[in-house]
Amino acid sequence: MKRFLITAFILAIFFIIGCQSEPNTKLTFIPVINGKKITCTHDFKFNEQLWRLNSFQFYLSKIKFNGINQTVTYDQSKTDVSHQVALLGTACRGGKNWQLILDNTINKLAELEFELAVPFELNHSNPLSSKAPLNQADMFWTWQLGHKFFRLDMVNQTHVDKNWSFHLGSTGCDSASVMRAPKVPCKNPNRVKFTIKQFDYRKPIYIHLDRLFFNLTLNQKHTCMGDANKESCNLLYENLNKGDLFSQEVREVK
């Protein structure tokens, strides 16, 4: 009897541990403007105007530590999920997620790499049968263009009718109609790679939106929905490709 009890106890411990999550690394993201955190519930100032977030979401993929591919993980209640892509951000009136969990434990400084994008092989598939988070309708254009990799919608609180949006995704995609996927990569993939050389797992990653806005006047005229011929889009792509949108350093500018 004693042997049975001991075996049962050991198995019980085994199952308790089995129900718990594995050790992992959490990447926490914080959007900032001039070093100051921004949220959906408070106005923020940029270039002497007041703004409010309406939606800020983005996909990350091809995440690597010291060149080794990482897998995105979720708690056990989430099934049918993609382990290659993470969706971060908030749609303000809906849910939010600012934390990405990787299934490897990183406990020392490492080089972190990721793409602000959805890989081509996942980007143009049927959103209905796609695994979460690739089934988020407000982050999907069409099968032809695929997903919006980055979506930022802001409301101007100072001037009426001067709201601003930036939706980033692949453009120049050739297919029979908007509901058909391209067979070859799009002319402008618009996937941007970022590197944080000395990533410290204990610190958050700041998203410096003021660096994205560099040299850009924010208003409806300068909204960018991916038009490669639009000056504002080209400026935004240029700012993104500087590679300093994400960093672990932050300094508040008064």
Partner 1 sequence: MKLLFISILMFFLVACGQNKEHETYQWQIPKDYPKPQVPRDNPMTKAKVKLGRFLFYDKNLSANQTQSCASCHHQKNAFSENRAVSIGSTGQSHRRNALALVNIAYNKTLTWAHPSLDSIERQVLLPMFGETPVEMGITGNENEVLSRFKSVQYQNLFKNAFDDESVNFDKINKALSSFVRRLTSFNSPFDRYAYAMDDNALSVSQIRGMDLFFSERLECHHCHGGFNFTQSTAHEKQLLDRRPFHNTGLYDIDGKGSYPDTDMGLNEITLNKRDMGAFRAPTLRNIALTAPYMHDGSIHTLAEVIDHYAAGGKAIKSVNKRNKNSKNQFRSPFVKGFEINEREKKDLINFLNALTDTSFISDPELSNPFN
Query: What does the alpha-carbon distance between residue 143 and residue 176 come to, in Å, rounded to a whole number?
Result: 11
Q: Write down the least CB distance from residue 156 to partner 1, Å.
A: 9
- Is 81 a binding residue for partner 1 by CB under 8 A? The answer is yes
Report the run of H or E that residue 19 belongs to, with start and end: helix 2-19
Q: Write down the least CB distance from residue 43 to partner 1, Å.
A: 11
Task: Name the maximum alpha-carbon separation found in the chain.
Answer: 79
Residue 208: helix, strand or coil by DSSP?
strand
Q: What is the footprint of partner 1 within residues 181-220 (CB under 8 A)?
A: 220
- Is 229 a binding residue for partner 1 by CB under 8 A? The answer is no
- Is 75 a binding residue for partner 1 by CB under 8 A? The answer is no
The piece of 162-170, 196-204, 232-240, 244-252 that touches partner 1 (CB under 8 A) is: 162-170
Asked whether the beta carbons of 248 and 204 are under 8 A apart, the reply is yes
- Is 71 a binding residue for partner 1 by CB under 8 A? The answer is no
Determine which residue in the list 8, 30, 68, 228 makes contact with partner 1, applying CB under 8 A.
Answer: 8
What single letter denotes the amino acid at residue 193? K
- Is 245 a binding residue for partner 1 by CB under 8 A? The answer is no
Q: Write down the least CB distance from residue 153 to partner 1, Å.
A: 7
DSSP state of 7: H
Write 160-164 long-range contacts (CB < 8 A, 24+).
Answer: 161/220, 162/49, 162/218, 162/219, 162/220, 163/54, 163/220, 163/223, 164/51, 164/218, 164/219, 164/220, 164/222, 164/223
- Is 16 a binding residue for partner 1 by CB under 8 A? The answer is yes
Q: What does the CA dihedral 223, 227, 228, 232 come to, rounded to 10 degrees?
A: -10
- Is 99 a binding residue for partner 1 by CB under 8 A? The answer is no
Q: Write down the least CB distance from residue 89 to partner 1, Å.
A: 9
The piece of 27-35, 107-115, 157-165, 203-211 that touches partner 1 (CB under 8 A) is: 157-165
What single letter denotes the amino acid at residue 241? N
The piece of 120-128, 191-199, 204-212, 246-254 that touches partner 1 (CB under 8 A) is: 120-128
Q: Which is nearer to partner 1, 30 or 179 (CB)?
A: 179
Q: Write down the least CB distance from residue 194 to partner 1, Å.
A: 23
Residue 25: helix, strand or coil by DSSP?
strand
Query: What does the alpha-carbon distance between residue 103 and residue 133 come to, in Å, rounded to a whole number?
Result: 17
**Binding site residues, partner 1, CB under 8 A:** 1, 4-5, 7-8, 11-12, 15-16, 18-19, 52, 74, 76, 78-81, 87, 91, 93-97, 126-129, 131-133, 135-138, 140-143, 153, 155, 160-161, 163-165, 176-179, 220, 223, 225-227
